[in-house]
Structure formats: structure tokens, C-alpha cells
Amino acid sequence: MFEGGVLKLCEPISELTDGDRVELTLVRVSTPNAPAVQPADPDDDYDLLAALNATRLAQGERQLIPPAEVR
């Protein structure tokens, strides 16, 4: 959980001891009150990859698959 500029653990990590060095990967998860996502109609022209990349970019994350001109 992130509160007041501080990252806080939701539960203790018993496998670690004082002085252990760790590497973290941060992934933002949705909150329980987040609206449910409706499945897309398979017959429309919705580009799921483009939508996922746009959402990730808006949240400051990297794209899942870079655009063709970058590859």
C-alpha cells in the first residue's frame, strides 16, 4: 500500500532477516471499488493492444509491445 509518500507492506515477510538486500518490482493493482471492465464485442474494430498500451502509458508504465516503427 502507498500512503503519504511511503510504501507499506500489507503483511510481514518472514523469509527476510535484517540486512537482507532485495529487488522489488512494483505493479499497480486495481482497488476493490474499481469499476468492472466489460468484455469487448468480438465483431467490433476494438484494438485491445492499442487500448492496453494507451492505459499503460497514461499510468507511466512501458508499453506491452512497442509500436512497429520502434522495433
More confident site: 55 or 28: 55
Confidence label for 28 from pLDDT (cuts 50, 70 and 90) = confident
Residue 71 is assigned to a structural domain of this protein: yes
% of the chain beyond a pLDDT of 90: 4
* Cα–Cα dist 60/26, whole Å: 12
Residue 69 is assigned to a structural domain of this protein: yes
Residue 1 is assigned to a structural domain of this protein: no
Residue 20 is assigned to a structural domain of this protein: no
Segment holding 33, helix H or strand E: none
Residue 63 is assigned to a structural domain of this protein: yes
Q: What's the grid cell of residue 49? A: 493492444
pLDDT at 10 over 70: yes
48-59 average pLDDT score:
85
* Cα–Cα dist 50/66, whole Å: 10
Residues spanned by the domain of 61: 41-71
pLDDT at 67 over 70: no
Residue 29 pLDDT: 76
Number of structural domains the chain divides into = 1
Residue 36 is assigned to a structural domain of this protein: no
Residue 61 is assigned to a structural domain of this protein: yes
Q: What's the grid cell of residue 35? A: 469499476
